[in-house]
C-alpha cells in the first residue's frame, strides 16, 4: 500500500547542515557519558572536542569510540536557522555576552523544527488526507514562530504548540493503522532485544517503543510508525523502510543496517552501513 503521496522532497529542507552552524548542539545542550557523549557537561559549556572552527575533532571516530549520543543527534536544520537567519552568521563566540540567549533560542527552535519535520511528513500521508488543512495551519504557525525575534522566541509557549501538534499526529497515526489489517503484528508489545527476522511489520505503530538491539533483519515496514522510537543498535539489515512513517535521520544513524536496506529517499545511509 502506498503511504506517501510523493518521495517526501519537502523533508529535504529539514536536513541539518553543520557547515552552516556554529556547533550549537555541542555547546547548548547538557549531556553525559551514560547517554553516549564523550563527557559529562552542563548546558552552555562547549564540548572539549569542539574546535574553534566549530568542527568536531573526533568526527570520523564517533562510531569507533561508541559515541551513540553524538551519532544519533539530529537538529532537523534548527542549528543553521539560528546561526544564519536569526543571528545573521554571528555566533556564541562572536556575541559572547549574548551566548546564553543564543542557546535558549536554539533549544526552542530545535523543538519547533522537530515538530515541523513530523508535520511536513504528516501532510503527505495518504490515509490522513482529511487532516491536511489542520496540518498546514500548524506548519504555517510554526514558520511564523521560527521567524520571531530572539526576545519573542524565548516567550513562545512551546508546550501549547506541541500539544496541538501531538493531537493531530495522533490522528494521523490512527488513520494509518486503521488502513492496515496486520492482526499478528498488532499483538506485539515487547521488542527490545528480540528477533523478528523477515516479518511483515506493516501498519504497526511503534511510536516511543524501545527497539534497542531488536533484530528486524529483512522485515517489511510499509506504513510502520516510528515516532519517537528508540532505535539504538536496532538491526535493519536488508529491511524495507522505504514507506516507514516518522523515521528520522537520527534514528537511522543510531541503528545498524546495510546498503541493501531500503530507506526513505530523504534519508541518507550512515557511512558505517556497509
Ligand atoms: S564529540 Fe564531537 S559531535 Fe560529539 S558533542 Fe563533542 S564536538 Fe559535538
Q: How far is CA 209 from the centre of its chain?
A: 15
Residues 125 and 3: their CA atoms lie apart, in Å, by: 6
Q: Is 129 domain-assigned?
A: yes
Residue minimizing CA distance to atom 3 of ligand 1: 70
Q: Which residue in 63, 57, 66 sits closest to 36, CA to CA?
A: 66
Q: Is 2 domain-assigned?
A: no
25 CA from centroid of ligand 1 (Å): 8
The confidence score (pLDDT) of residue 192 equals 97
Domain end among 134, 151, 177: 177
Q: Is 160 domain-assigned?
A: yes
Axis-axis angle for helices 99-122, 132-146 (nearest 10): 160
Are residues 133 and 151 both part of a single domain?
yes
Asked whether 124 lines ligand 1 (CB < 6 A), one says: no
Residues 24 and 84: their CA atoms lie apart, in Å, by: 12
**CATH code assigned at 208:** 2.160.20.80
pLDDT in tens, 186-223: 678 899 999 999 999 999 999 999 999 999 999 999 99
Are residues 98 and 140 both part of a single domain?
yes
Are residues 122 and 229 both part of a single domain?
no
Residues 261 and 234: their CA atoms lie apart, in Å, by: 13
Are residues 139 and 263 both part of a single domain?
no
Are residues 163 and 199 both part of a single domain?
no
Q: Over the chain, what is the mean pLDDT?
A: 95
The confidence score (pLDDT) of residue 184 equals 66
Domain end among 145, 177, 209: 177
User: Is the per-residue pLDDT at 15 higher than 70?
Assistant: yes
178 CA from centroid of ligand 1 (Å): 41
User: Is the per-residue pLDDT at 19 higher than 80?
Assistant: yes
Residues 177 and 201: their CA atoms lie apart, in Å, by: 11
pLDDT in tens, 32-74: 999 999 999 999 999 999 999 999 999 999 989 999 999 999 9
Report the domain count for the chain: 2
Q: How confident is the model at residue 125 (pLDDT cuts 50, 70, 90)?
A: very high
DSSP code of 269? P
Determine the average pLDDT of the residues in 111-133: 98
26 CA from centroid of ligand 1 (Å): 5
Are residues 252 and 203 both part of a single domain?
yes
Strand partners of residue 220: 200, 240
Q: Is 30 domain-assigned?
A: no
Q: Is 4 domain-assigned?
A: no
Q: How confident is the model at residue 185 (pLDDT cuts 50, 70, 90)?
A: low
Are residues 20 and 131 both part of a single domain?
yes
6 CA from centroid of ligand 1 (Å): 34
Share of residues in the chain with pLDDT > 70 (%) = 99
Ligand 1 atom at minimal distance to the Cα of residue 48:
6
Are residues 146 and 219 both part of a single domain?
no
Strand partners of residue 225: 205, 245
The confidence score (pLDDT) of residue 181 equals 77
Residue minimizing CA distance to atom 5 of ligand 1: 26
Domain end among 121, 142, 177: 177
Are residues 17 and 136 both part of a single domain?
yes
Q: Is 213 domain-assigned?
A: yes
Domain span at residue 260? 180-274
CA 80 vs CA 101, 179, 212: distances in Å: 16, 38, 30
CB 86 within 8 A of CB 109: yes
The confidence score (pLDDT) of residue 109 equals 98
Q: Is 56 domain-assigned?
A: no
Q: What are phi and psi of 178, to 5 degrees?
A: -65, -30
Determine the average pLDDT of the residues in 109-118: 98
Amino acid at each position: 500500500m502506498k503511504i506517501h503521496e510523493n518521495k517526501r522532497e519537502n523533508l529535504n529542507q529539514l536536513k541539518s547542515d553543520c557547515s552552516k552552524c556554529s556547533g550549537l548542539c555541542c555547546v547548548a545542550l547538557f549531556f553525559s557519558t551514560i547517554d553516549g557523549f564523550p563527557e559529562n557537561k552542563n548546558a552552555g559549556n562547549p564540548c572539549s572536542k569542539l574546535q574553534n572552527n566549530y568542527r568536531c575533532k573526533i568526527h570520523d571516530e564517533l562510531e569507533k569510540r561508541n559515541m551513540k549520543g553524538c551519532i544519533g543527534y539530529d537538529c532537523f536544520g534548527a542549528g543553521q536557522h539560528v546561526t544564519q537567519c536569526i543571528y545573521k552568521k554571528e555566533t556564541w563566540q562572536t556575541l559572547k555576552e549574548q551566548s546564553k540567549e543564543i542557546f535558549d533560542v536554539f533549544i526552542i527552535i530545535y523543538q519547533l523544527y522537530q515538530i515541523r519535520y513530523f508535520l511536513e511528513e504528516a501532510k503527505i500521508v495518504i490515509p490522513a488526507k482529511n487532516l491536511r488543512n489542520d496540518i498546514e495551519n500548524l506548519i504555517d504557525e510554526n514558520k511564523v514562530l521560527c521567524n520571531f525575534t530572539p526576545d519573542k522566541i524565548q516567550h513562545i509557549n512551546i508546550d501549547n504548540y506541541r500539544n496541538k501538534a501531538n493531537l493531530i499526529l495522533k490522528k494521523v497515526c490512527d488513520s494509518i493503522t486503521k488502513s492496515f489489517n496486520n492482526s499478528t503484528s498488532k499483538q506485539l508489545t515487547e521488542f527490545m532485544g528480540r528477533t523478528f527476522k523477515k516479518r511483515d511489520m506493516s501498519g504497526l505503530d511503534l511510536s516511543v517503543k524501545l527497539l534497542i538491539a531488536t533484530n528486524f533483519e529483512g522485515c517489511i515496514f510499509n506504513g510502520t510508525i516510528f515516532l519517537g522510537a528508540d532505535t539504538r543498535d536496532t538491526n535493519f539489515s536488508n529491511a524495507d523502510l522505504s514507506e516507514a512513517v516518522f523515521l528520522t535521520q537520527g534514528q537511522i544513524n543510531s541503528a545498524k543496517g546495510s546498503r541493501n536496506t531500503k530507506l526513505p529517499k530523504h534519508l541518507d545511509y550512515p557511512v558505517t552501513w556497509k
